[in-house]
Amino acid sequence: MSESPVAIVTGAATGIGAACARRLAAEGFQVGIHYRSSAEKAEKLLSEIPGAFGLRADLSNAEEIDAMIKEIKSGPGRVDVLVNNAGYNENAPMLTMKLDAYDAVAGLARGTWYLTKLVLRRFMLRKGSGRIVNISSVVGSTGNPGQIPYTMVKAGLDAFTKSLAQELAGREILVNSVAPGFIETEMTGELPEEIQAGILARIPQGRMGTPEEVADVVCFLASRASYVNGCVLHVNGGLYGG
């Protein structure tokens, strides 16, 4: 079993997840870089972070999650921190959104629930401690036109955080959400320029956040926080305070 505490970050090959992986490694964690399709980016990140290990799974597939848990068991053998960062969005108004698109967004939420259950059962409850950080979004609190399945999933993730923190009360396993506002990643980079300009006009600090600014808050919750539990921490430059 690994002597260093182990942090698993889902969707860690890109954006906010990669920043979390780097930040947690700098804090002394052995980091599990989970990815689905970004194999090349994951390899590059793995080569940059000493001791890190890769895990590939489509989180909308329960069998692939089972296999990933087996791999962790026979590898580092422990999970001290789980960062549920993987996220997926489809943009379309309610009336034209296809059922398949809804299923793709919701399928990942189902997988997040299942992965968390297995990590709790196989690792954290046996050890009697752990930290779970769910990456939700400001739009789970405010709503956002054209993103109804995504906003439903993110609001649900915050409810998951609150309910699970209460279920685990007294077990030294703390569960929190970090809700980013608009952060400079491929996800926001793909938005049309006029939408990006409209977003900037709404942010009191006048700029998007960086993945590192989100990772700092995640790292605090994963490593130092001991009395923050069942919370949604907003990281959004003043856009929304909760």
Q: Is 14 left (phi over 0), alpha (psi -120 to 50) or beta?
A: beta
Q: Do the beta carbons of residue 188 and residue 196 sit within 8 Å? A: yes
Piece in contact with ligand NAP (CB under 6 A), picked from 53-61, 66-74, 94-102, 166-174? 53-61
Asked if 102 and 149 touch (Cβ cutoff 8 Å), the reply is yes
Task: Sort 95 into a burial class: Cβ within 10 Å, 0-12 / 13-18 / 19+.
Answer: exposed
Nearer to ligand NAP among residue 112 and residue 229 (C-beta): 112
Q: How far is the CB of 89 from ligand NAP (least distance, A)?
A: 6
Query: In three state form, how does the secondary structure of 25-38 look?
Result: HHCCCEEEEEECCC
Tell me how many residues contact ligand NAP (CB under 6 A).
27
Residues 201-230 that bind ligand NAP (CB under 6 A): none
Q: Does 180 bind ligand NAP (CB under 6 A)?
A: yes
Out of 6, 14, 118, 233, which residue is the one contacting ligand NAP (CB under 6 A)?
A: 14
Q: Which of 35, 102, 114, 150 is catalytic?
A: 150
How far is Cα 168 from Cα 119, in angstroms, rounded to an integer?
13
The verdict on 71 binding ligand NAP (CB under 6 A) reads: no
Provide, rounded to whole angstroms, the least separation between the CB of residue 88 and ligand NAP. Answer: 4
- 219 vs 205: CA distance, rounded Å: 23
16 part of the interface to ligand NAP, by CB under 6 A? yes
Does 58 help bind ligand NAP (rule: CB under 6 A)?
yes
Smallest distance from ligand NAP to CB 16, Å: 4
- Residues constituting the chain: 242
Query: Which of the ranges 30-38, 71-79, 113-121, 125-133 carries the binding residues for ligand NAP, by CB under 6 A?
Result: 30-38
150 is catalytic: yes
- Determine the 3-state secondary structure of 80 from DSSP: coil
How far is 82 from 213, CA to CA, in rounded Å? 19
Q: Show the tokens assigned to 87.
A: 């996220």
86 within 8 A of 34, measured Cβ to Cβ: yes
Place of tokens 């890769």: 54
Can residue 15 be called a binding residue for ligand NAP (CB under 6 A)? Answer: yes
Among residues 105, 108, 173, 217, the one that binds ligand NAP under rule CB under 6 A: 108
Residue of the chain from 137, 161, 177, 229 that contacts ligand NAP (CB under 6 A): 137
Residues that bind ligand NAP (CB under 6 A): 11, 13-17, 35-38, 58-60, 85-88, 108, 135, 137, 180, 182-183, 185-188
Which amino acids are annotated catalytic? 150
